Amino acid sequence: SDHETLTAILGPVVAERRAMKESRLILSVGGLPRSFRFSFRGTGYDEKMVREMEGLEASGSAYVCTLCDATRAEASRNMVLHSVTRSHDENLERYEVWRTNPFSESAEELRDRVKGISAKPFMETRATLDALHCDIGNATEFYKIFQDEIGEVHLKSSPGREERRQWRATLDKQLRKKMKLKPVMRMNGNYARRLMTHEAVEVICELVPSEERREALRELLGLYLQMKPVWRSTCPARECPDQLCRYSFNSQRFAELL
């Protein structure tokens, strides 16, 4: 499986990774020696763990992002333009600045200079999605699917913007009325978790004309909820072995339905 989650990292493992990264593997391919490098990839890191491993302040920090230097205030002003600017090496350099305070700055000035780095980063993490953002990304896609199903997009060649806006308003109104779920400008974790439930899908199915497509939506969400524990848990093999065994089959069926 390409699903990786980490809970504890032992020092020797880090050292071995570094040694392997710097070494070459020579294999004979078709009678010719080929040289390969090792590359380690991590996916689905938990935000709390990334902050700990990369030396960042805890999640209540003004520095809200583990991928860039944005503060809470900056992030709320700029919802669109983002780029990955933090790196493990830079975090290490910033920790040294934090430790030595070479410019004899005040605590506030120093904190601004190091952008929330206050401990020594001890393991490199790749810029990637954490479990919360998987929830948000999936719910965003489903929110669009629900609108399309309400408007029976499969029967129309190219629906206009106004028509699509109407479908969205219908969906928002139904969710507000039946689930007390208020519309949001930008998808967040709480909204995502409430949207992706059997209860929400039943409420939405009331607006979907075709029984066949209602059944497909119910099955889709059922599969989603079976798969979700695998990428939410710390150790799937121990915490949800049954869902882990079915994950490959479920994901194929999920793709067919989509």
Residue 218 to residues 99, 161, 198, 212, Cα–Cα distance (Å): 54, 27, 7, 10
Range 183-212 average pLDDT = 94
Between CA 140 and CA 257, with CA 235 as vertex, the angle to 5 degrees is 40
Around Cβ 247, how many Cβ atoms within 10 Å? 19
Looking at the fold, whether 107 and 211 belong to one and the same domain comes out as: no
Looking at the fold, whether 212 and 249 belong to one and the same domain comes out as: yes
Instruction: State percent of the chain over pLDDT 90.
Output: 54
Looking at the fold, whether 83 and 189 belong to one and the same domain comes out as: no
| pLDDT tens sequence across 133-152 | 788 889 999 999 999 999 99
pLDDT band at 1 (very low <50, low <70, confident <90, very high): very low
pLDDT band at 127 (very low <50, low <70, confident <90, very high): low
Last residue of a domain, one of 65, 82, 114: 114
User: Does some domain include residue 176?
Assistant: yes
Looking at the fold, whether 106 and 143 belong to one and the same domain comes out as: no
Given a cut of 80, is residue 8 above it in pLDDT? no
Mean pLDDT across the chain: 87
Looking at the fold, whether 105 and 185 belong to one and the same domain comes out as: no
Residue 86 CA, chain-centre distance (Å), reads: 17
Counting the structural domains of the chain, the total is 2
Looking at the fold, whether 135 and 96 belong to one and the same domain comes out as: no
pLDDT band at 132 (very low <50, low <70, confident <90, very high): confident
Last residue of a domain, one of 57, 88, 114: 114
Distance CA 82, CA 70 (A): 9
Looking at the fold, whether 152 and 218 belong to one and the same domain comes out as: yes
Q: Which ranges of the chain does DSSP label H, i.e. alpha helix?
A: 11-22, 47-53, 72-77, 88-100, 107-114, 131-150, 161-179, 189-195, 198-205, 211-232, 236-239, 241-257
Range 29-43 average pLDDT = 82
Burial of 102 (0-12, 13-18, 19+ CB in 10 A): exposed
Distance CA 224, CA 27 (A): 41
Given a cut of 50, is residue 3 above it in pLDDT? no
Given a cut of 90, is residue 178 above it in pLDDT? yes
Burial of 74 (0-12, 13-18, 19+ CB in 10 A): middle
Looking at the fold, whether 182 and 104 belong to one and the same domain comes out as: no
For residue 207, give its domain range.
131-257
Last residue of a domain, one of 81, 114, 147: 114
User: Does some domain include residue 69?
Assistant: yes
Looking at the fold, whether 146 and 189 belong to one and the same domain comes out as: yes
Range 55-74 average pLDDT = 89
57 and 71 Cβ atoms separated by less than 8 Å: no
pTM: 0.55
- Long-range contacts of residues 183-192, Cβ cutoff 8 Å, at least 24 apart: 186/79, 187/136, 187/139, 187/140, 187/143, 188/136, 189/132, 189/135, 189/136, 191/139, 192/135, 192/136, 192/138, 192/139, 192/140
User: Does some domain include residue 158?
Assistant: yes
Looking at the fold, whether 77 and 147 belong to one and the same domain comes out as: no
Q: What is the pLDDT of residue 44?
A: 58
